[in-house]
């Protein structure tokens, strides 16, 4: 494993919500998240803002927080383009950019992007090797940005440990984190995403969890991983069983959800990126379009 100088801290924020506000507001929010003490901001890539352009904007508005992609799709750009964008950010913002990369999902790749999604793990393995040997005819970064893979299954987790800094599992339980640590060994970086709901009413919490999880229950990667984690087809039907919802979208007061986050550290995580699932219809609870108060509660509890 190569030396990695970047430090994302123990707790980061994973959010797609910065895509939903003007760029100026997103930049302000990044500064607020940094002031709260979080070590990293993780942003996605599907069909929203370009993650590298967005990272540049957010990095330029902050002083030390790490920006991480969760994840940048290998089907969005070729290996040289991915490497060049990463190195450009790494040179401009030393040790503040973490490249989370992955294969995305068949429906996204084929329907939205028009690519063929065949043998994705083999493609990812060769893609990473091509990234590493890509030329860069510009002023080089002081340190190469670390790479982690959006990995779920054993083969992907093993690839992450062998070819990159580590893994960024999404929609997982602490039991999966323990399994991932066992497969990857002690040295690999492990940063699961944990989505939480600050709601103590079980009906409201599960309704929000069911709505948020609905898209994932139709994606084979996640369905297979839920089954691998011990859930059943019944758990995945009709929007998800209470057992599934409570495990994948833990809810409750701040102490309850914080305990669920801490369980991942006890299972072997190095860093946990916390995603706050909110009711988008309750805009009165937001500050200029974003759940700043809830993020602050998480910071006060977890940091």
DSSP 54-121: HHHHHHHT-SS-EEEES-EETTSS-HHHHHHHHHHHHHHSTT-EEEEEE---HHIIIIIS-----SHH
What span, in angstroms and rounded, lies between the C-alpha atoms of 39 and 194?
Answer: 15
pLDDT for 106 equals: 52
Q: How far is CA 121 from CA 54, 146, 157, 164, in A?
A: 27, 19, 11, 14
- Asked if residues 197 and 257 have their Cβ atoms less than 8 Å apart, the reply is yes
Measured N-to-C along each axis, helices 292-302 and 254-266 cross at an angle, to the nearest 10 degrees, of 50
Check: CB of residue 74 under 8 Å from CB of residue 49: no
Instruction: State residue 288's pLDDT score.
Output: 83
State the pLDDT at residue 50.
96
Residues 8 and 38 sit within 8 Å (Cβ to Cβ) = no
What pLDDT is recorded for position 110? 53
Contact between residue 101 and residue 71 where contact means Cβ atoms under 8 Å apart:
yes
Domains of the chain: 11-199+254-302 (3.20.20.30)
Q: What is the pLDDT of residue 125?
A: 96
Please list the pLDDT of the chain residue by residue as tens digits (303 residues).
557 899 999 999 999 999 999 999 999 999 999 999 999 999 998 878 999 999 999 999 999 999 999 999 998 899 999 999 999 999 999 999 999 998 865 566 555 656 566 788 998 999 999 999 999 999 999 999 999 999 999 999 999 999 999 999 999 999 999 999 999 999 999 999 999 999 999 999 999 999 999 989 988 889 999 999 999 999 999 999 999 999 999 999 999 999 999 999 999 999 999 999 998 766 656 888 899 999 999 999 999
- Pull the structure tokens for residue 302: 């977890």
Residue 283's pLDDT is 61
What's the token pair of residue 301?
Answer: 């509890």
- Integer angstrom CA distances of residue 28 from 41, 88, 136, 165, 285: 13, 23, 32, 30, 18
Q: Which has the closest alpha carbon to 230: 180, 186, 173, 274? A: 173
Global pTM reads 0.95
Quick one: tokens of 76?
């969005």
Going from the C-alpha of 189 to that of each of 99, 126, 151, 192, 287, the distances in angstroms are: 13, 21, 12, 10, 34
pLDDT for the residue numbered 46 = 83
Angle (deg, nearest 10), helices 79-92 and 120-132: 50
- In this predicted structure, what is the pLDDT of residue 115? 58
């Amino acid at each position: 494993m190569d030396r990695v100088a970047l430090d994302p801290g123990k707790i980061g924020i994973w959010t797609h919500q910065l895509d939903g506000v003007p760029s100026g507001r997103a930049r302000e929010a990044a500064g607020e998240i940094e002031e709260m003490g979080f070590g990293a901001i993780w942003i996605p890539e599907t069909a929203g803002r370009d993650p590298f352009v967005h990272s540049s904007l957010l990095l330029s508005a902050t002083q030390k927080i790490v920006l991480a992609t969760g994840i940048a799709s290998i089907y969005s750009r070729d290996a040289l383009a991915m490497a060049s964008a990463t190195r450009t950010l790494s040179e401009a913002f030393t040790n503040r950019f973490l490249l989370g990369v992955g294969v995305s999902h068949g429906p996204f790749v084929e329907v939205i992007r028009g690519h063929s999604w065949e043998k994705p793990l083999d493609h990812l393995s060769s893609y990473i090797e091509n990234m590493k040997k890509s030329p860069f005819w510009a002023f080089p970064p002081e340190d190469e940005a670390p790479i982690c893979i959006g990995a779920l299954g054993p083969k992907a987790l093993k690839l992450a440990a062998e070819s990159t800094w580590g893994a960024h599992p999404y929609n997982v339980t602490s039991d999966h984190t323990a399994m991932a640590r066992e497969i990857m060994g002690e040295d690999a970086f492990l940063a699961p995403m944990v989505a939480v709901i600050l709601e103590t009413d079980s009906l409201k919490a599960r309704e929000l969890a069911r709505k948020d999880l609905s898209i994932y229950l139709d994606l084979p990667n996640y369905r297979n991983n839920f089954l691998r984690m011990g859930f059943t087809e019944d758990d995945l039907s009709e929007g998800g069983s209470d057992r599934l919802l409570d495990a994948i979208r833990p809810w409750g007061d701040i102490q309850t959800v914080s305990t669920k986050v801490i369980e991942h550290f006890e299972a072997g995580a190095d860093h946990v990126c916390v995603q706050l699932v909110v009711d988008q219809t309750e805009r009165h609870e937001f500050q200029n379009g974003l759940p700043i108060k809830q993020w602050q509660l998480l910071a006060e509890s977890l940091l």
